[in-house]
A and B are shown apart, each in its own frame.
Chain A
Amino acid sequence: MTTASILNLLAWVLSALIAAWLIHDVVRVARTHDEKDLINAAEMFDDLDPQAAAPVAPAASSSSSKEDGR
């Protein structure tokens, strides 16, 4: 095996290891955490967990009218 082919193989192996680690961690986080503890959105709870969602908040309503007024 030549030096270049060893380096090429090493690059592929490292890439595969990193890819495996990334996928493993994404799956692990999804399994060990509730989705609503991960999502960074201003108002996402009605979609994620309709049971736990509170009624329409006054602040949200005024914000909505502000946007609609654009």
Chain B
Amino acid sequence: MTAAGESSASTVSAPAPGHHAPALRKVLSPMHIWALGVGIVLVGEFMGWNFSVEKGGMYGALVAAWFVGLLYTCIVMINSEITSAIPAAGGQYAQAKHTVGPLMAFNVGLYLTLAYTMLEAANANVLSYLLSQLSSLTGSSEELSPYAFATLAIMALAWLNYRGVFAALSLNFVITGFAFITIIVLFFGVSGWNAGISLHLDGLIGSLDNGLPYGWIGVIAAFQFGMWFYLGIEGTAQAAEECRSASRSVPIGSMAGIMTLIIAAGLTWYVCAGLLPWHYLGVSITPLFDAARVSGSGVLVVLLLLGTLFATIASANGCINDASRAWFSMSRDRYLPAWFSAVHPRYHTPFRSVVFLVPIAIAFALLPVLLDQPTLLATVITFSILSGLLTYSFMGPNFIRFRKLWPMGTITRGYVLPLHPAPAIALLLLSGIVFFATFLGYGTALLSLLAFYLLASIWFVQRRYKYVKRGAQFTADLPRPRGY
């Protein structure tokens, strides 16, 4: 490990003649990109988004879903253009490396790794909870151990990711597709097109107090949980290097993904608003499953339970994929020891990065149970959300710089962001609003996280930067930017 990565970067040399560096396998299509993006996110429709109802009421949650949906649409469009030009594993990390510099890239890489690892841990924790619920629903009085099943979930999905990206994301396509279909089935099952039959939306009509119990400040507060509808869709960029044609697959898969999520968010809000009282919905752990139970249909209950389970598994699976790619990318640029940048000779996966992150994810998944502190799970999730938010806040300025470095017509782009710079500015503004909303609810966590990343940056500059090969940072197949 040290031999590969700890030597100073003072000398730069050429590869040995005839040597072919092992590479990730290019096997993915738009279908897999969709599965990766939607797979990570869709669990947010099954649980998590509804806390925005507690903060801002039913209309507050809906407004949050729309505005945060706009934020993520900007992210997806920006990602699509940059990734089609810089199709590298690491996604936003590689973008930051090319447009800003090593310190920003290190921070973004760390945000990405921690955001996905924390989300994976939270998913494993929730999965064990769901299995316990399942056993109690079958009439069992005995409790399944959350330790055993959270660990098994992480181990099994890590094994799958270790063995190959194609199988891992093909599985994600199947289970994510199933989970999405269950939301549509629920809509039809409760005759969603005819609100008078089983949905009760009358309470939302009339006085604004019915849907906005805390006024517009409640709407702002709801933004942080509105992120659950879409959090993680930006992860599609992580798979760019493994696409058969990144300039085609990433824009198509990502755009299809955000459209799927906006449809799912709308259906989820509508069905839950019509079936569950807002006071209950705001604190429910599994709102869609609860909506199915209220419907009284046994088939819908089973389907939505399976949908919730599959969405959780798909999210954890996608998170393992993305966290390992971010870690791997930082390693091959020497931001971390090069040992982690090894590619498996048979499976063509970043196998050491996959394995290294397993114990970290297990530790964060089991900690809330071991310490008997259920609120720790919320902290883990908040850590993930804030890390994601930090990534988004850099993407707007980064994109403006990207367009300055490589103006239109100077490079080939698989997708061109329309109305530039409006989406980049909108992204920056919306990120600021969500930051404010998060500060309202988790001010201490936000400040702690910023302090953590500041310390990590100091460590990087003091201890790690000397190993970074500045001459090898520019890896994209792009012409020298203007002004360089």
Contact = CB atoms under 8 A, between A and B. Distances in A.
Nearest to B467: A47
A56 B19 CA distance: 17
Given A33-B345, A66-B480, A39 B338 contact: yes
Given A22-B159, A35-B3, A11 B151 contact: yes
B345 A29 contact: yes
Contact of A39 (B16, B142, B332): B332
A40 B480 contact: no
Report which residue of A7, A44, A46 has the largest number of chain B beta carbons within 10 angstroms of its beta carbon. Answer: A44
Interface string A32-61: 010111111111111111001111110111
Interface of B is mostly: loop
Interface in B123-153: 135, 140, 142-145, 148-149, 151-152
B163 to A, nearest CB: 10
A41 B341 contact: yes
Given A12-B148, A22-B158, A38-B345, A64 B11 contact: no
A45 B474 contact: no
Contacts of B333: 41-42
Nearest to B132: A4
Interface residues of A, number: 52
Contact of A56 (B11, B24, B469): B11
A64 B345 contact: no
Contacts of A66: 471, 474, 480, 484
Nearest to A70: B101
B352 interface: yes
B470 interface: yes
A40 B24 contact: yes
B252 interface: no
B14 A38 contact: no
A54 to B, nearest CB: 5
A39 B155 contact: no
Interface in B306-364: 328, 331-334, 338-339, 341-345, 350-352, 355, 358
A18 B156 contact: yes
B401 to A, nearest CB: 12
A39 B484 contact: no
A37 B345 CA distance: 8
Given A15-B151, A64-B471, A44 B140 contact: no
B5 interface: yes
Given A26-B352, A43-B12, A61 B471 contact: yes
Interface string B253-266: 00000000000000
Nearest to B142: A4
A19 B358 CA distance: 10
B23 interface: yes
Nearest to A19: B155
B13 A55 contact: yes
Given A2-B142, A15-B148, A29-B351, A60 B342 contact: no
Contacts of A5: 142
A18 B157 CA distance: 10
B4 interface: yes
A30 B152 CA distance: 25
A5 to B, nearest CB: 7
Contact of A48 (B3, B350, B355, B358): B3
A18 B14 CA distance: 39
B143 A36 contact: no
A37 B135 contact: no
B469 A43 contact: yes
B342 A40 contact: yes
A2 B158 CA distance: 29
B480 to A, nearest CB: 6
B388 to A, nearest CB: 26
Given A38-B343, A49-B16, 8 more contacts: A26-B355, A37-B345, A40-B24, A43-B471, A43-B472, A53-B13, A60-B14, A64-B12
21 contacts: A8-B148, A22-B155, A22-B158, A22-B159, A29-B344, A29-B351, A35-B3, A36-B16, A39-B21, A39-B342, A40-B22, A41-B331, A42-B469, A42-B472, A44-B4, A53-B13, A57-B13, A59-B14, A60-B13, A67-B473, A70-B484
Interface of A: 2-5, 7-9, 11-12, 14-15, 18-19, 21-23, 25-26, 29, 33, 35-49, 52-57, 59-61, 63-70
